[in-house]
Structure 1
Amino acid sequence: MWNRVIGLIIKEILVFIRDPRTRFVLIVPPVVQMFVFGYAATFDLFRVSFCLYDENRTLSSREFISKFQGSPIFILKKEIFKDSLVREEIERKKALFVLHVDRRFDRDLSSGRSAKVQLIIDGRNSNTAAILSGYANQIIADFNADWIKKRGVGSVPSQISFRALYNPNLLSRWFIVPGLIAILTFVVSAMTIGLSIAREKEMGTFDQLLVTPLRPIEILVGKTVPGLIFAMGEATLILFAALFWFKVPFRGNVAILYLGLLFFLFAIIGIELAISSLSATQQQALFGVFFFLVPSIILSGFSTPIRNMPELIQYLTFLNPMRYFLVIIRGVFLEGRGLESLWDQFVPLFFIGLISMSFSWYLFKRRLY
């Protein structure tokens, strides 16, 4: 019995070693994902851009602001001079937060009262906003310690307040649940479309399908549409759950959300069809889908901000369809953004879809002929 078992083990090892596709799946995806997780999946903040709104403009306020400017974490992008620009800078993601120094800052410090400082944060990413609050509190504590040491003031000289736009209470589900529409739609379409052609090959029915009156383009459409329907149904189910179960506010237009979903599916379906066409078995297709799915989630900004990733990896995220769709989802849900402000997310999705669908069609035709 043990001889037979050992012989079977040796045979399976040899099969894995001799098959170049299996060798690729066993070696390359784990190495790539190790680097992706290691560098991209981080909750640390680096190079955080912020805007300054200093209504006090005194030596004391500049001394306080220098604490932020001297930190290796924060980068002052620009200084603004009116209230109306605060929301604009955050809405367009030009800055992660606006540091607002009250006009009575110096007077309150001199009189021994707590001087007010406000941090207006982009609350669309609740995890980042919470971490940022911790960093800001640490800087305030350092400033207070220096002030007391130099001037001998007995009370705490400055106090910071936080205000989060688009997610006032920093509820993580407002950030996570809309993003699940992208991830679970991706998974459903990958499990249906990504395995469809590989399943036909493995069962030996793909060649039988080719001798039917169906044309190649009809076969491709027939393989695509069911996955598209399932994915749209999954997205609708999550949308209802987000609205009625998790009580996530929806401030935008449903039509724009579904238009973005169609563009997103158009982009990823081409990639999934290409994976399925290149795979000889369902197992290979499953590994290929997994290899593409995990980095796509990590590099999308779903859990960790893209701005915190190394610069090279930030450039790679521009090839990721999920990056653009997450901006559309959260923009429609939390900000109520329209097509006029989201067109720059639709255009990359369209071109990625055009390229991926063309490539998958080329692989499909090469398989036929």
Structure 2
Amino acid sequence: MPPLLQLVLFANAATFEIAGVSLGIWDEDGSRPAAELIDRFARSPAFDLTAVYDQPEEVAAGITEQHVTAVLHLGQRFSADLLSGQAADLQLIIDARRSNTAMIVGSYAQSIIDGYTQDLATLARRPGGVAVVSRAWFNPNLSSRWFILPGLVVLLSFVTVVLTTALSVARERELGTFDQLLVTPMRPMEIVIGKTVPTFAIGVSEAALLVAVVVVAYGVPFVGSAALLVLSLAIFLLSGIGIGLAISSVAKTQQQAILGVFLFLAPAMILSGFATPVENMPGWCRALTLLDPIRYMLVVARGVFLQDMAWDVAAGQIWPMAAIGLATLITATWLFRGRLE
């Protein structure tokens, strides 16, 4: 059953097709030619017009806070230049924290604009057209390394703490030392804390090493708050430890623990949005991602590395990780208490 369930999950969640990209419009021209071009974007299945802006500050906030993936900006002289036979400039601002998505969005937009230009030349029989000026925010060169490596810091540290926690308890259970631990005067909460602290130290140390390598060896920029990244990683790793303890509390052997970890980690990585955008997944897949702590930490990590993410924006990603960590640690404590009884 696990491979069958994972196949169904991967087939729906792991897709590189882009549809329904959230697009903002900043139209300073307000003319009929501008409205016709905007209408083409609205009718395209690749885009979903979700916001209209009037000021550059609103555009910056929309991109930074990920309300929209791209913004189409038509300047005040768009229609005048177009009707006079000159090349009318059009600006496309794209959130490039996801470099692969940014490149696909740019190509989709270019194809729509090329079709508009061809139709305009055929009907109006005049030279000119639309010249697209693209600007990729947070990753101007669309470097895939800037997109992948911050995510790998998150994934590798999470795999380490989940696997280490699950296998450590399972091995003790095989050797019989865990049963000896349960009959000591220690309470279940104290046992959980004892299993959490060493793994937490390992996870934080590994994450710090990975961040240093990513920045120093591979030149990925780190423009945000180090304190915010440390706090987020601490809460994130605790959620991973809670998941590992919950798996180990029901696994009787290391083999069962490994299978439990694999059963959780493989879907969690696909649903996290590491490789494919969460927005492109079906509704039921997006609902499952809400239970995945990796999803939230990826947003914070990429935001801190590339964007200088604000604390109030990061708070919306931190509290779900804290809730998941609290729930899993309480569950592990309850399961350990059940073994004592």
TM-score by length of 1: 0.88
SS at match of 1:250: coil
Identify which of 278, 281, 289 aligns with 2:253. Answer: 281
**Secondary structure at 1:319 match in 2:** coil
Spell out the pairing of 1:163-242 with structure 2 (5 A cutoff). 163-211=135-183, 214-242=186-214
1:272 aligns with one of 244, 269, 290? 244
* CA positional deviation for 1:70: 1.2
Query: How far apart are residue 285 of structure 1 and its match?
Result: 0.6
Question: What are the superposed Cα offsets for residues 212-257 of structure 1, whole Å, 9 maximum, x if unpaired?
Answer: 5655444332322221111111101110011101111111111111
1:336 Cα deviation (Å)?
Answer: 0.9
Following TM superposition, by how much is the alpha carbon of 1:267 offset from its aligned partner in structure 2, in angstroms?
A: 1.4
Q: Structure 1: how far apart are the matches of 2:182 and 2:325? A: 26
User: How many pairs align?
Assistant: 341
Letter of the structure 2 residue corresponding to residue 84 of structure 1: E
* Residue of structure 2 equivalent to 1:365: 337
2:123 aligns to what?
150
Secondary structure of the corresponding residue to residue 330 of structure 1: helix
8 Å contact from structure 2 (residues 271, 278) kept in 1: yes
Cα distance in structure 2, aligned partners of 1:126 and 1:322: 19
* Aligned position for 1:62: 35
**More moved, 342-351 vs 163-172:** 342-351
2:305 to 321, 333, 339: 333
Q: 1:107 pairs with 52, 77, 80, which one? A: 80
Deviation at 1:103, TM superposition (A): 1.7
Quote how far apart the aligned CAs of 1:102 are.
2.1
Deviations 1:59-87, CA, capped at 9 Å, x for gaps: 11111111111101211112111222111
Determine the C-alpha separation between the residues in 1 that align with 2:297 and 2:173: 32
Q: Distance in 1 between matches of 2:52 and 2:157?
A: 41
CA distance in 2, matches of 1:59, 1:140: 15
* Alignment check: 8 A CA contact 2:87 2:131 kept: yes
What is the rounded CA distance, in whole Å, between the counterparts of 1:156 and 1:296 in structure 2? 50
Q: 1:353 aligns with which of 325, 328, 337?
A: 325
Larger radius of gyration: 1
Cα distance in 1 for residues equivalent to 2:310 and 2:32: 43
Conservation of the 8 A alpha-carbon contact between 2:239 and 2:326: yes
Q: Which residue of 2 aligns with 1:119?
A: 92
Question: What secondary structure is seen at the aligned counterpart in 1 of 2:290?
Answer: helix
Instruction: Name the aligned partner's letter for residue 171 of structure 1.
Output: S
d(CA) in 2 for partners of 1:165, 1:368: 55
**Paired letter, 2:42:** Q
Contact 2:192 2:332 in 1 (8 A): no
- Structure 1 vs Structure 2 CA RMSD: 1.5
**How many angstroms apart in 1 are the aligned matches of 2:156 and 2:305?**
17
Q: Is the Cα–Cα contact under 8 Å of residues 88 and 129 in structure 2 kept in the other structure? A: yes
Contact 2:29 2:74 in 1 (8 A): yes
2:272–2:292 Cα contact (<8 Å) kept: yes
Does the residue aligned with 1:95 lie in a helix, a strand or coil? coil
- Matched with 1:318 is 290
Q: Could you say which residue in structure 2 is the equivalent of 1:7?
A: none
For residues 191 and 331 of structure 2, what CA distance do their matches in structure 1 show? Answer: 16
CA offsets per residue over residues 298-343 of structure 1, 9 Å max, x none?
A: 1111111111111221122111111111122122211112323221
For 1:357 and 1:220, locate their aligned partners in 2 and report how far apart those are by CA, in whole Å.
8
Match of 1:93 in 2: 66
Normalising by structure 2, we get a TM-score of: 0.95
Matched, 1:298 2:270: yes
Give 1:161's aligned residue.
133
Matched, 1:48 2:29: no
Shift of 1:206: 2.2
Contiguous gaps of at least 5 residues in structure 2 = none
- Does the CA contact (< 8 Å) of 2:183 and 2:340 recur in 1? no
CA deviation digits over 1:279-303, x for unaligned, max 9? 1111111111111111111111111
Give the AA of the match of 2:109.
A
